[in-house]
Chains A and B, each alone.
Chain A
Amino acid sequence: MKQSPLESKFCENLPARYRTGGIWRSVFIISTLTGIFFLSILLLKIVNDSFGYIAVEYGIAPESLAVDGVPIWELPKEDLVLLLQKNVTPGRFKTLVKELPMEERNRDDILAIIVREVVEPKVAQTWTLAESIFNKQEIVATVQENYPDAELDFKAWLSWDFITSPQSSDPLYAGIRTAILGSLWLMGVAIIFALPIGTGAAIYLEEFAGKGWLNDLIRTNINNLAGVPSIIYGILGLAVFVRAMEPITSGAAFGYGLTSATLNGRTILSGGLTLGLLILPIIIINAQEALRAVPNSLREASYGVGATKWQTVWSHVLPNAIPGIMTGSILAFSRAFGETAPLVVIGASTYIVYDPTSVFSKFTALPIQIYQWTSRPQDEFRNLAAAAILVLLALLLTMNAVAIIIRNRYSRRY
């Protein structure tokens, strides 16, 4: 069969067209792989910084503190107390006793104080995990050359001690307990504030609201609010909660902290309410979607047996929408958990050693702590930031996993 001129031209072009198709196909695949590559690099970088060798220099070599040849690690408690008394100033010893009498402290606690206040270890240099694994000889050589008195230790910046210790200005002892507790308190306030209002608003918009202009305005407005940058919520919180409502948010109106001179509105309550405002639109949008997924036949069946609107919503729509609302809300709260900018703006303190005790406490939060440590120029603080990031990501991942489990377990298909 003879080919028409058009047909032959078509056949001539075909390989070129397929080639272009193939090239672009690989461009698309490579782009996708690049995205995955970025994620892996990010995670590797963080893990890499969370562990590794450190060179530690001591104010006093621990060996020189040995009593009768027994190193301090093996001394009994009584000797350690004597040692402590001998090596710190009398004033400092008195302060320590005032905090907690020596009799009530256990041996490990006293040993820790001796190490911190007498031996005074200082980080001279840190290495990453990759360097520690592949370049060990080089590291040993560097330490011998540059820090002859230093000791080389493998330090896991992310450790149980790190999670349970309070904040400290010394990177070797700094921990994130106060930051985690601060974040949890903030979440608590944000949940109590945003969940009921958010769910209520979603129920109103989905079940009660008609077509009027006001309801349209509310709908458009919620979508817009979801796109407002978080820092704007921060300065709203600063102006409203920290400043205008200071007597309430500082707790002064309820008789809290009357003795404190540093009374101000930069408290957990202000921070939690600000985060609550921030995630309110997200909660509403997610809850609306959950309510919309409940089939109309359920509502009509309920009306059919004579239930009122609210009875229908309360006993039939809500129970079926709860898993969806929970999933959406958990995702919203995981967003709030990692939010930093609004908290910096309303003035979260960065150096908090004591656990928060009420909503009127000053606070720090996990992302704030990461921000603070990242902005320090010293390497060891970068390591702390990386370890804190690992904890933050683990917590977020857990929250997301819970959300997905709830969705898969309780979601019903109609």
Chain B
Amino acid sequence: MDPKNGSLNPMNTLLSPLSLNKRRRPKETVIKALLFFCGFFSIFITLAIVYELAKEALLFFQDPEVTLWGFLTGLTWQPKIGQFGVVPLVTATLVTTTIAMMVAIPLGMAVAIYLSEYASTRTRNTVKPIMEVLAGIPTVVYGFFALTFITPTLRSIFGPDVVQIYNTASAGLAMGILILPLIASMTEDALSAVPRSLREGGYSLGATKLEVALRIVVPAAISGISAAIILGISRAIGETMIVAIAAGAGPNLTLNPFESAETMTGYMVRISGGDLSYDSIDYNSIFAIGLLLFVLTFILNIISQRIVRHFREEYE
């Protein structure tokens, strides 16, 4: 080949300076580092939460009047007289959560089964946005609703002597309405993910629609449904404004839903809402309760996520 002609070949001029070695791109590295920092920031938040909660809670437990055992098993919470037993607050949380789940689980499941198995596309497209609206309403509005509507209704049904102005029943009911759409939409997702072939198999054996829904689809989606329920419980335990408004102030060890009782979150709001001084036992106590709340919800969330992941792998 003539070398003079070779230099005229456009491919040669294009290829000759090109090196196939990886070029160093400092700008790309910097950007990647920045983005990594953004991603890592979330870990930093978790560490900050754990660190702050633990630090202040440790100060709380260092107080001579407080012991860990007394905190977890004590039946009275009266910081003024040095009684730091968290049981009344936990009991109130359990009562409101139980009532909420008694409303939200059956209704939420029924709505989900209806939407996924029975409803026409048109009905589904109308009902789902309504549920989304219900889920998007701020919790303070549900608190207002519990105090000014559910409580008076309960009082007119059971009598004002039985039902106190502030009570855990109204808070629990409002919370149930709040959590209903969450459970309904997560359950509906789980039901819709069940492959069509399973349903067809059921029909071909002569099963009715209900039998297919309850004996084939629901069991097949059970992990997704339990994840939804666990997430709902976690949400109910951490719910704050409804109980702060409607459940009453002042810890009270009772299982009667018509009596007022303060939940863990309600206590935290009441104490921190006032002008409290740092380094007081009250200030430290909200961190101890916060730590308990954080641990509880964290465990529930992790269980829920594990279940969801397991269930995703099953059908994909």
Contact = CB atoms under 8 A, between A and B. Distances in A.
A231 B240 contact: yes
B58 interface: no
B301 A224 contact: yes
A300 B104 CA distance: 46
A227 B53 contact: no
B181 interface: yes
Given A232-B290, A236-B48, A340 B241 contact: yes
A224 B32 contact: no
B287 A239 contact: yes
B31 A310 contact: yes
A227 B130 contact: no
Interface residues of A, number: 87
Interface in B24-60: 25, 27-28, 31-32, 34-43, 45-46, 48-49, 52-53, 56
A38 B42 contact: no
Given A31-B107, A232-B290, A375-B245, A345 B301 contact: no
What interface size band does chain B fall in? 35 or more
- A20, A31, A346 interface centre (most CB from chain B within 10 Å): A31
B177 interface: yes
Interface string A36-62: 101101100110010000000000000
A339 B130 contact: no
A367 B237 CA distance: 21
A47 B148 CA distance: 13
Interface stretch (A70-78, A101-109, A118-126, A388-396): A388-396
Nearest to B49: A236
A41 B304 CA distance: 32
B81 interface: no
Nearest to A30: B110
B114 A32 contact: yes
Contacts of B131: 35
B60 to A, nearest CB: 13
A201 B35 contact: yes
Contact of A374 (B31, B111, B148, B272): B148
A285 B113 CA distance: 27
A17 interface: yes
Given A28-B113, A229-B297, A235 B127 contact: no
Contacts of B245: 371, 374-375
Given A42-B137, A396-B136, A370 B144 contact: yes
Interface in A345-380: 345-347, 367, 370-371, 374-375
B130 A21 contact: no
Interface string B197-241: 000000000101111001000000000000000010011011111
A204 interface: yes
Contacts of A10: 206
Contact of A341 (B41, B145, B240, B302): B240
Given A35-B107, A45-B148, A221-B46, A371 B293 contact: no
Given A41-B149, A227-B301, A235-B286, A32 B208 contact: no
A284 interface: yes
Interface in A213-237: 215, 217-218, 220-225, 227-236
Contact of B273 (A217, A230, A281, A345): A345
Given A36-B130, A221-B42, A227-B234, A341 B141 contact: no
B138 A338 contact: yes
A205 interface: yes
Nearest to B304: A227
A235 B268 contact: yes
Given A21-B209, A224-B302, A204 B36 contact: yes
Given A208-B35, A229-B237, A239-B52, A338 B139 contact: yes
A285 B5 CA distance: 59
A233 B268 CA distance: 12
Nearest to A281: B42
Contacts of B34: 200
A398 interface: no
A227 B241 contact: no
A200 B278 contact: no
A410 interface: no
Contacts of A335: 136
Interface of B: 25, 27-28, 31-32, 34-43, 45-46, 48-49, 52-53, 56, 106-107, 110-111, 113-115, 118-119, 127, 130-131, 133-134, 136-145, 147-149, 177, 180-181, 184, 206, 208-211, 214, 231, 234-235, 237-241, 244-245, 265, 268-269, 272-273, 275, 278, 286-287, 290, 293-294, 297-298, 300-302, 304-305
Cβ-closest 6 pairs across A and B: A229-B238, A338-B138, A200-B38, A31-B110, A28-B114, A204-B35
Given A229-B235, A308-B28, 14 more contacts: A10-B206, A21-B208, A42-B141, A45-B145, A45-B148, A200-B38, A204-B36, A208-B35, A221-B43, A227-B301, A235-B52, A371-B143, A392-B141, A400-B136
Interface of A: 10, 17-18, 20-21, 24-25, 27-29, 31-32, 34-36, 38-39, 41-42, 45-46, 49, 196-201, 203-205, 208-209, 215, 217-218, 220-225, 227-236, 238-240, 243, 277, 280-281, 284, 308-310, 334-335, 337-341, 344-347, 367, 370-371, 374-375, 382, 385-386, 389, 392-393, 396, 400
